[in-house]
Structure 1
Amino acid sequence: MELTYTLQELPEVAEKVLTGSSSKTLLFYGEMGTGKTTLIKQIAKNLGVVDSVSSPTFSIVNEHLLDNEKLYHYDFYRLESLDEALDIGIEDYLYSGHWNFVEWPEKVEDLLPGESTKIELIKNENGSRTLSIKPVK
């Protein structure tokens, strides 16, 4: 699935991401400034997260509570080795059965679950974004 959207359409786009996802592990690809964290915030809100969602750039992972569920949000931009990810217990998080939203997943590809959803974001010249959703098996 591919769609182009503006920030005003973000709540509807977030819902389409959730319904178009084949798993609870969402991998967000895109250059810096394409809106990965902004989209993640809206998806988390659609899922029912009530606390503030921000990028875990320095902590690597943030945990958010839902009703009888958790959401783990990762930002691996500053990650320098797979050992750093292993040190935080990434495998326990990723294989917990909870939601996993991963920014910069290319840095930990060898550790990712087999089933996930790839979300690619591109910022267009007019300020809109183009998003594609693809299952990964």
Structure 2
Amino acid sequence: MKRTFQLDEIQEVATELLEKAPNKVLCLYGGMGVGKTTLVKALVKQLGAVDVANSPTFGLVNEYFDKNDVPLAYHFDFYRLNDEMEALDMGFEDYLNSDAWVFIEWPDKISSLLPEDAVGVFLHFIEESTRSIELNVP
């Protein structure tokens, strides 16, 4: 999957991404402000979560559930992480072993902890309302 899109097409992009991803661990790469959290919001909405997604920058992880309180997705933002031990201490490996989707912002901060089959999702700024997305399947 590789495409350029307008920000108002983010729900379509989220649907396509969920359909084309070969597994449920998505590593989101891109600079500050490129739209990683915006994409996660759209993904969580597509999955049918009862809550609206937001950035877990200070808490490191947000959990999203369906109407039956079943976990749908875990959203990590490791921007403020100092070292990989912090991720291990919070039980990161347990999240990876769940059946829920795992969305990871700033995955380069925990590169040695990522599963080999994690999917790279690369976002690029084109102009104010235009982005490109590329899926990198291992």
Q: Shorter-normalised TM-score: what interval? A: over 0.9
Please say if 1:128 is aligned against 2:130.
yes
Amino acid at match of 1:8: D
> Which amino acid counterpart does residue 3 of structure 1 have in structure 2?
R
> What code does the residue aligned with 2:22 have?
S
| Equivalent residue, structure 1, for 2:96 | 94
Q: What is the TM-score with the length of structure 1 in the denominator?
A: 0.94
Equivalent residue of 1:70, what SS? strand
Distance 1:56 1:2 in 2: 27
SS of 1:113's equivalent in the other structure is coil
Q: How many residues align?
A: 136
Amino acid of the residue matched to residue 97 of structure 2?
Answer: Y
Contact 1:28 1:36 in 2 (8 A): yes
Identical pairs, percent: 45
Aligned to 1:40: 40
Paired amino acid for 2:43: I
| DSSP-derived class of the 2:32 partner | coil
The CA distance in 2 between the partners of 1:59 and 1:126, in whole Å, is 29
C-alpha displacement of 1:50 = 2.1
Q: Distance in 2 between matches of 1:85 and 1:94?
A: 12
**Is the partner of 2:137 in helix, strand or coil?**
strand
The answer as to 2:55 corresponding to 1:58 is no
Q: Deviations over 1:44-102 (max 9, x none)?
A: 10010121211100000111112544310000000010111111011111122321000
Distance 2:11 2:129 in 1: 17
Normalized against structure 2, the TM-score is what? 0.93
Matched AA of 2:114: L
Paired residues of 1:95 and 1:113 also in contact (CA < 8 A): no
Aligned mates of 2:111, 2:48 — CA distance in 1: 28
Distance 1:129 1:102 in 2: 19
- Within 1, Cα distance between the matches of 2:48 and 2:27? 20
Q: 2:75 aligns to what SS in structure 1?
A: strand
Supply the distance in 1 between the matched residues of 2:85 and 2:9 (Cα, whole angstroms): 39
CA RMSD of aligned residues (A): 1.2
Task: Give 3-state SS (helix, strand or coil) of 2:28's partner.
Answer: strand
Letter of the 1:101 partner, please give it: F
